[in-house]
Amino acid sequence: MGDYMAEPITGYSELKEHASNPESERYIPSCMEMYIMSLQKSLCDELATIEGKEFTVDRWIRPTEADGSLGGGGITCIVQDGQVFEKAGVNISVVHGTLSKQAIQQMKSRGKELFGESVPFTAMGISSVIHPINPFIPTIHFNYRYFEIPGENKQWWFGGGTDLTPTYLNRDDAKHFHTTLKTACDGHDKDYYPKFKKWCDEYFYIKHRGESRGLGGIFFDDLDYVSAESALSFLKSCGNSVAPAYIPLVKQHINEPYSDEEVQWRQLRRGRYVEFNLVYDRGTKFGLYTENARIESILMSLPLTARWEYMNKPGPRENELLEVLKKPVEWCSE
């Protein structure tokens, strides 16, 4: 499959048929699946060129029950122990099933109206976390997804976001990153960037530490108040902005020298990353609550290594980052 990293989870001819017919009930999910497949391919190609090493491709199929209540699968693409990236993963998943009781409760807490104890769903998305080796190259995370509850009371929504988690503060990096995301948002609605930046700042917050996970970006969920076509178009703009927002930062810092002390600080910051993902992240929780979930793919976001050091005393350069993490910055206004 030259256009994709592997054969689509849904048959390629079936996808093309529905994606070319706006009247089809599967038009939006088929367009979404084809898009995340192509985005995965383009990003993996760029990262592999930088790394000088091809991604390992793992196409997996979810166990299917006899009544069809579970099914689907995904494609996990990953590089580990590289020269540039300690761990870089770009995943897609296309699954369907029945929501667990925990997932139903989680969605109801967000104001979703779900009827009955057995709630079917279809979900698909792309997610990526890139943990570089060089402490001066920031970690990036992005996730874009479509969720649908079919049937008489059909519901659908889009969600996702992109955010940056550096080890050391570089204001120019932050401005470039946020400006690129703002440009993608402004092409659809001038209110999107300030609204979704604020949401990102509030979401990626480690309450027990009193600090943000990183320098933020954009984050949104439950996007269902515009047409599905408009929402998908916006999501594509966000997805297409990931490479131009991030790849220049990798190339700028790839050969920057660093010390063992700076690596140790990187490890401590990765510990904070792990804390957020395991304690607060909704996507991680939803995955772990889902029956027959693929744990390897869900926990792909975690770094290979991290560190928790008792009573660490950061130096002046490290404190510069910590001060910014205590209060969000309007990077596009600096």
Encode pLDDT of 168-227 as tens digits: 999 999 999 999 999 999 999 999 999 999 999 999 999 999 999 999 999 999 999 999
Q: CA 297, CA 295: separation in Å to the nearest integer?
A: 5
Least confident range from 97-106, 172-181, 260-269, 288-297: namely 97-106
- Predicted confidence band of residue 276 (pLDDT cuts 50, 70, 90): very high
What percentage of the chain reaches a pLDDT higher than 90? 77
Amino acid residing at 85 = F
- Predicted confidence band of residue 115 (pLDDT cuts 50, 70, 90): low
| Average of per-residue pLDDT across 107-127 | 77
Q: What is the pLDDT of residue 70?
A: 66
Encode pLDDT of 126-138 as tens digits: 999 999 999 999 9
Q: CA 220, CA 200: separation in Å to the nearest integer?
A: 7
Closest by CA position to 220, among listed 176, 173, 162, 278? 162
**Residue 234 reports pLDDT greater than 60:** yes
pTM for this prediction: 0.92
What the block records as the tokens of 133 is 């080796």
The SS3 assignment for 97 reads strand
Asked if residue 233 belongs to a domain, the reply is yes
**Active site (annotated) includes residue 188:** no
Encode pLDDT of 48-103 as tens digits: 999 999 999 999 998 766 555 568 999 999 999 999 999 999 999 998 888 767 77
| Residue span of the structural domain in which 263 resides | 12-333
End-to-end CA distance of the chain: 45
Find the catalytic residue in 18, 96, 131, 141: 141
Encode pLDDT of 142-154 as tens digits: 999 999 988 777 8
Q: What is the pLDDT of residue 241?
A: 98
| Average of per-residue pLDDT across 232-260 | 98
Asked if residue 198 belongs to a domain, the reply is yes
Asked if residue 165 belongs to a domain, the reply is yes
Helical (H) or strand (E) element with 96: strand 85-98
Instruction: Compare 11 and 134 and report the one with higher pLDDT.
Output: 134
The mean pLDDT of the chain is 92
Asked if residue 3 belongs to a domain, the reply is no
Asked if residue 216 belongs to a domain, the reply is yes
What is the domain count for the chain?
A: 1
Asked if residue 221 belongs to a domain, the reply is yes
| Phi, psi angle pair for 88, to nearest 5° | -135, 120
Asked if residue 1 belongs to a domain, the reply is no
Closest by CA position to 37, among listed 93, 80, 95, 121? 93
Asked if residue 2 belongs to a domain, the reply is no
Question: CATH number, domain at 296?
Answer: 3.40.1500.10
What percentage of the chain reaches a pLDDT higher than 70? 93
Neighbour count for residue 327 (Cβ, 10 Å): 9
